[in-house]
Structure formats: C-alpha cells, structure tokens
C-alpha cells in the first residue's frame, strides 16, 4: 500500500479551535503555532468566519495542522468551498523561527467589498464558537449522508444571523 504524502495546512480562523478541527477532521492533528507574513485577516460582513487576503505589511498569527491525509484535506476543501483558493505559502513557526511550506485558504475575491477590519479569535470563541461546533457536526452528518441535504443547509449555520447594530 502506498502512503500518500501528508499535508500541512495553516489555519487562522475557526480551525484554530481544537473542538472544530476534531469534528471536521475526525481526529486531533498535531498543531504548531505559526505566523504568516504578507496577508491580513479580515472580518467578512454577514459571516462568522474570517478570510485572508494579501497585504504587504500584514502578519497573521495562526496554527499549522500537520500531517493531514488527502481525505482530511478534502474535508477542509469542501467546508471552505469555492470562495477560498487553497494556496501554498511560507509560514514562520513561532517557537523555532523555522520556515515551513504549508497550504492555506485565501479569499478568492481580493476586492470583495464585504471584507473589513480585523477578525478577532477570542471574540469569535466567546460569541460564536458553540454555533460553529453545531454547524461542524451538521457538516459531518451531511458528508456521511448527503442525500436530500445540501451544502446550503450547512452554510446557513456559518452565516451571521445576529442583526447588525
């Protein structure tokens, strides 16, 4: 049996939360803290999740999920959908300053008018994490049994339904 190469993926949003990752990947990957230079992490109007887009002065703190299988990467691709493009980037590991080539999800529309401000992980944990964990459970159920349930059904869960102030 040939083993497929494993993937390392830099995450900067809800996937920094082990509870979410463990549900989506159905395992607990080893994670390392890292920084991605040359990108900014934005909030997205009407969404609970952030996106990143190139920015000369930007630095994003996040985590690298290491040793993912093709199947786990496919799960991430599915959940990120077509609005993100998976790209290879170089991150710097926080503890060792070592550089590492990893994959990450970059917002496909770099001129999206819905991008604004700075996304805050701690605020997300406080306000939205529970809802996101529910959404992740629904996603896995849907993936195992897609009949009659659409991805839209899952997407409803990750949209921000709090009335804007």
Q: Is the pLDDT of residue 64 over 90?
A: yes
Q: Is the pLDDT of residue 59 over 50?
A: yes
What is the four-CA torsion angle of 67, 135, 17, 52, rounded to 10 degrees?
80
The residues annotated with a catalytic role in the active site are 80
Quote the CA–CA distance of 28 and 33 in Å, as a whole number.
15
Q: Residue 66: what pLDDT?
A: 97
Q: Residue 139: what pLDDT?
A: 84
Quote the CA–CA distance of 121 and 130 in Å, as a whole number.
13
Q: Is the pLDDT of residue 162 over 70?
A: no
Query: Domain extents for the chain?
Result: 7-158
* Over residues 145-154, mean pLDDT: 65
- CB of 91 within 8 A of CB of 33? no
Return the minimum-mean-pLDDT range out of 4-8, 40-44, 76-80: 4-8
Q: Is the pLDDT of residue 127 over 60?
A: yes
Return the minimum-mean-pLDDT range out of 17-26, 70-79, 99-108, 151-160: 151-160
pLDDT one-digit tens code per residue, 97-109? 999 999 999 999 9
* Over residues 99-124, mean pLDDT: 96
The whole-chain average pLDDT of the chain stands at 89
Q: Residue 4: what pLDDT?
A: 65
The domain 7-158 is classified under which CATH number: 3.40.50.80, 3.10.490.10, 3.90.1150.10, 3.90.1300.10?
Answer: 3.10.490.10
Burial of 77 (0-12, 13-18, 19+ CB in 10 A): middle
Identify the bridge partners of residue 37 per DSSP, sorted by sequence position. Answer: 59
Q: Is the pLDDT of residue 159 over 70?
A: no
Q: Which of 91, 25, 81 is nearest to 58 (CA)?
A: 91
């Amino acid at each position: 049996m040939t083993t497929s190469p494993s993937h390392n993926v830099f995450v900067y949003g809800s996937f920094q939360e082990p509870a979410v990752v463990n549900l989506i990947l159905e395992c607990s990957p080893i994670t390392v803290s890292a920084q991605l230079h040359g990108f900014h992490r934005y909030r997205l109007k009407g969404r609970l999740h952030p996106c990143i887009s190139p920015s000369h002065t930007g630095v994003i703190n996040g985590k690298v999920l290491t040793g993912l299988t093709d199947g786990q990467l496919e799960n991430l691709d599915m959940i990120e959908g077509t609005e993100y493009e998976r790209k290879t980037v170089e991150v710097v590991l926080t503890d060792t300053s070592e550089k590492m080539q990893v994959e990450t999800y970059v917002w496909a529309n770099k001129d999206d008018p819905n991008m604004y401000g700075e996304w805050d992980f701690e605020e997300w944990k406080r306000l939205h994490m529970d809802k996101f964990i529910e959404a992740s459970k629904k996603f896995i159920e849907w993936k195992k049994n897609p009949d009659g349930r659409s991805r839209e059904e899952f997407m409803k869960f990750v949209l921000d339904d709090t009335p804007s102030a």
